[in-house]
Homo-oligomer: A and B are copies of this chain.
Amino acid sequence: MSIDRKRQIIEAATKSFSLFGYKATTMEQIAKLANVGKGTIYTFFKNKEDLLDEIISALILEIKKEAEQAMNPDRPFSENVHRALYRILEFRQQHQLTARLLQEVRNIGTPAVQEVMKKLDWAIIDYIREKIDIAIKKGEIRDCDAEITAFLMLKTYIALIVDWEKDHEPLTKEKIAQLFELYFLKGLSK
């Protein structure tokens, strides 16, 4: 019974955060939506921030699953890392909750949301880092600092997908894959 209530609360909170954002969602609203008393929320979660944190932790697992699905063990590292990163960032922008929270960080800068989105970014970096470590072990790519590489790969993708569009025509998925291949794998040297 109590497990179910926790799920009800998480679902209600996710829905409300997705629709109105973190700041504009009140604990009473969540309680009403979840058909529980406000106090009940606090038996499962330390506070509002903790509730958001648990939701994001679950989302991180979901994102990893998405990325895993996008990859194909028969294809080379370069292709898989592109597919994984592209799928992750696509998910991040299309998923209602993350899209809303990204917007909230841009427009209001709610500290709790900023923190949790940073956690999400580092989870992505850590996930890519694992893939890079495997590729290095398998001899698919040069030896390099896997964490910095993963960090730069994410930054590069965000730059190409999000930042470039602010001043230019968006780049196609193929173009991005091609650019990524050129800079990260082949290098500019002749």
Binding site for B on A (CB under 8 A): 78, 122, 139-142, 144-145, 148-149, 151-152, 155-156, 159-160, 163-164, 167, 171, 179, 182-190
Contact = CB atoms under 8 A, between A and B. Distances in A.
Tell me the interface secondary structure of chain A in the complex. helix
Most buried by B among A140, A183, A184: A183
The number of times this chain is found in the oligomer is: 2
Contact of A159 (B122, B155, B167, B190): B155
Contacts of A152: 156, 159-160, 179, 183
6 contacts: A122-B167, A142-B190, A149-B188, A152-B179, A155-B163, A185-B187
Contact of A185 (B141, B179, B189): B189
Contacts of A179: 145, 148, 152
Contact of A151 (B159, B182, B186, B190): B159
A189 to B, nearest CB: 5
A144 to B, nearest CB: 6
Given A122-B167, A156-B156, A188 B151 contact: no
Contacts of A184: 183, 187-188
A148 B170 CA distance: 12
Nearest to A163: B155
Contacts of A167: 122
B122 A182 contact: no
Most buried by B among A139, A152, A184: A152
Contacts of A164: 148, 151
A123 to B, nearest CB: 13
